Structure 1
């Protein structure tokens, strides 16, 4: 077997380009198997349905997706300007736990429902604004121009609006109206004008706001309240919030408790079944090379107590690395605890890198 025949069963196909599932025009540029799959990448099933098979329910996100579907309003409620508010969906969990993937699965489901109901609602234009790009790097909107500290919340909100404005202009919304939204300093007023513009053009807007590594819970709560304030009709904000081991999902959204406009989706920690579930599901979904055999269930479940993987990203990278190491094995090998151990041990010292060093806050927030 040559390297060109290799298809790592734990690899992730990037959404675009030579390593991707297509270019957004329906052509599958990566289907010939020549692309090298990466160890990890934010999944984008809302845009590329082919990515749905790469999603593995090991972080209990199926339960949270069900919760989202149950809480999702009828389309006419989102479009009704008399209802008074749009929606804020807060997705919380530890770094690397799959929040970005869950958000995009929610958007995929929402777009499916909107498509089914669209004729009766006048076929609204659906817009999508990833304010930190598909890589979902919050630094681009949350770091001060000096590169060393948090930007003030006013500037963070302005940057988010500028990213939204780019999407509006791509769809030929009137430039003077869009520029007025950007220049408006009051976030509530800016989003109110944006909502009016969406109503006039029969459009519905999905906005993804990434985790921006708040190092102060009060500052984070204040920012979430600013997200709740502009929850106007036809605007749906998906806000990603990473929290540390010392916090609970309840701590994250305490400031928003009681709001009818908020849906909170919280990803739980991995348990002893998750290593096995990931190994089995990922391999079955992606197809495996002939040099690997069925993973050993008892060995993988026993590995949990020794390994204690912190998140889905770590699972992906360790399994991907172990499979690469076995690709040249002289005879079939199973992915078991012995095969994984060298790769999880080498990553233990680097786990803190997932949290990254917090950015120093500016005086006054």
Structure 2
């Protein structure tokens, strides 16, 4: 059981945009620190206080609750007899909040896993309370390690490509195992093995035994690989599920909002929906969610964030906000807040919103539908 000492204190105030994002940076020298960036996902397992910025808009609230009820459960993940991990796939349209939901799910599971591991180990540890808006200490989740292959932004990377061509599934797992070895500091973790499912099985089985010995659970975060119609995505999902042994959970992001379910059906057939695979599919925001987003930011007590959104904006229904995805919404509001600050205004009013609106394309309502009509508009180019 984890015990927290003392109240959580806010970091010293500094000028900040109400719609900025707290992000951990690691300087060449000195400890990690948090800066407020114009863009990026919320990463609560890495930044203390980031949970305060989480907004339970309609679809994310339901998906998170389903994840916690039906997704990977701590007792099953650490069950050495069952010896089965889990695969979690998060999909959705562009800028729908996939990466933030993925990190929220990771943090939720990490807290439950760490608490369960401490109970299993019969250990009570006094963990100093973290200041808000600081990088989390490894002590806080000492039984859980998170390996983000493409960094916290989980941006599409060349993880699964070489010389402009997609790697095969085994080669991608080689890279995953190499990164895990570097993170855990375990040179005995096998990687660089010859292609073949048996060797992959052996490599992950060995990794699982090491995790059990160290009483550690590994959460592996992976971006969309941009494989398109190569048929590799379904095979990769299958390989993750099959190689997720005791103590290992894969989290994979998919930008293929219209085809992810098909990839999963191809990979698992009738097995889809079993206890070892969870699919969280994001959709468009519900009516009024944009107001909830603004209200949550106003309540979060972000250091030095003095500029608010005026009532004439929230009481109205400007198309620039009501028709936007959550990613576009935050970018518009960030730009409007910067504009207000530069013009020495104390709020974002309708005039300010109109001034910055020219720089943003107002999306049509069908641009975020979960069908193929907008596929050309939402699909990201390959690496």
Specify the TM-score bucket, using the shorter chain as the normaliser.
Answer: 0.7 to 0.9
TM-score, reference length from structure 2: 0.75
Paired position in structure 1 for 2:88: 89
Change (3 A) 1:49 1:60: farther
Paired position in structure 1 for 2:23: 14
**Cα shift readout 1:287-344 (whole Å, capped 9, x = no counterpart):** 5425753462242x3426x8622x32211111101111122446554444x5334544
Paired position in structure 1 for 2:265: 254
Match of 2:335 among 297, 305, 321: 321
Match of 2:150 among 132, 156, 165: 132
Q: Report the Cα distance in structure 1 between the residues aligned to 2:380 and 2:259, rounded to whole angstroms.
A: 19
TM-score, reference length from structure 1: 0.78
Cα pair 2:95 2:327 within 8 Å, conserved: yes
Q: Report the Cα distance in structure 1 between the residues aligned to 2:173 and 2:276, rounded to whole angstroms.
A: 19
Aligned ranges for residues 177-216 of structure 1 at < 5 Å? 177-178=188-189, 180-183=190-193, 185-186=195-196, 187-216=200-229
Paired positions, count? 330
Cα pair 1:91 1:265 within 8 Å, conserved: yes
1:289 is the counterpart of 2:306: yes
Following TM superposition, by how much is the alpha carbon of 1:40 offset from its aligned partner in structure 2, in angstroms?
A: 0.9
Q: Report the Cα distance in structure 1 between the residues aligned to 2:98 and 2:229, rounded to whole angstroms.
A: 20
Cα pair 2:114 2:144 within 8 Å, conserved: no
**Cα shift readout 1:137-160 (whole Å, capped 9, x = no counterpart):** 33130221x2x3323333222212
Higher strand share: 2
Question: Runs of 5+ in structure 1 lacking a partner?
Answer: 360-365
Change (3 A) 1:220 1:344: farther
Paired position in structure 2 for 1:51: 50
Which moves more between the two structures, 262-271 or 183-192?
Answer: 183-192
Following TM superposition, by how much is the alpha carbon of 1:207 offset from its aligned partner in structure 2, in angstroms?
A: 0.7
Detail structure 1 runs of 4+ shifted over 6 Å in the superposition: 349-354
Following TM superposition, by how much is the alpha carbon of 1:83 offset from its aligned partner in structure 2, in angstroms?
A: 0.8
Paired position in structure 1 for 2:169: 153
Cα pair 2:22 2:47 within 8 Å, conserved: no
